[in-house]
Amino acid sequence: MKVSEDIIEGGMGAVRAEPAGEPTAVEPDVAMCDGEVSSSCPNCGEELAGEYCHGCGEKRPEARDLTVRHFVQDAAKELTSLDSKLFRTLLALLFRPGFLTLEWIRGRRGHYLKPLNLCLGIFAVGIFAYSAYKPVSMYDMSKIVEQDKTGVFKEMINRQAAKKRMEPQALLDEISEKWQRFMSVSPLVFVVSFALVLQFVFVLSRRYFVEHLVFSMHFVSFSMLTVTLMWPIYFLIGIKPGGINTVVAVFKWLLDIVYMFFAVRAVYRLGTARTFIVSLLLIVGYFVSYLLVFIGSLVAAILVVVK
């Protein structure tokens, strides 16, 4: 009886030793390393009754999941399948204006990338594309100095370079680097400023601000994606004022206007005439918002470098 009591008391002590209310850690399934199939979920520890865990949705692990062949096949399927979330989102963004916003508002969001992730991802790719190769860089202070006929910028750069005891070109490169960095963190400011324009234009529509915000994210994503897709054109012709660059810029703005028209009509359900007028107003607001972010980032870069 003494031994039994000691065993019971030791067992109760072991139970009391475990902190109450804390989740029990799930130990890695060593059997998987030996090629055996696990009967419990490796993610949450629930007993598996099918291909996927009913507790967290994790797929049942299999030994073939660890082979190079399966890894390559899975990666290729994710990257190339038209059914993947990325390709489905990009196709809808490019060819179905307003569709992604409508799907988000209606709650059908699982099949597409989240608006913020989409916007930040495309913006990051665009910033990289137009900053990695200097001849097609949109954020190059040297080009602004070269195109300044008044000589004001050149004089300012020379004066500040002499004050900092460095070469003017080195100072220009430092400003360009800061400008690119500030532009890389500007998408949120840009998106919110355009959403405020939408809120002002549709002030009587009784829509939530988040609806305008999502519309703004999708339109900014489309506009930045088309600019990125036009990179090969700028690679061939360069970025400079006048000439064929003006033709390309006009084409881009006409494309944005047409896209805005169909997106507004799909999401906000206006008549044709009102949609056209509103689209023109929104394009102006979009341009002003972009200009403020673009110039604001440049001014901030100059102030930080020359201080």
Q: What is the pLDDT of residue 78?
A: 66
Mean pLDDT, the chain, rounded, equals 82
pLDDT confidence band for 18 (50 / 70 / 90): very low
Query: Is 221 in contact with 112 (CB distance < 8 Å)?
Result: no
On whether the pTM is more than 0.75, the answer is no
pLDDT (0 to 100) of residue 143: 84
Percent of the chain exceeding pLDDT 90 equals 38
Q: What is the mean pLDDT of residues 143-169?
A: 85
- 59 beta partners: 52
CB 100 within 8 A of CB 86: no
Amino acid identity at 98: G
What Å distances lie between residue 234 and 165, 238, 241, 242, CA to CA? 35, 5, 12, 13
For residue 244, give every residue at least 6 positions away whose Cβ sits within 8 Å of its Cβ, in sequence order, or none: 237
* Residues 19, 283: Cα–Cα separation, whole Å: 60
Report the distance separating Cα 192 and Cα 188, nearest Å: 6
Closest of 212, 230, 216, 214 to residue 125, by C-alpha: 230
The pair of three-digit structure tokens given for residue 1, joined into one six-digit string: 């009886």
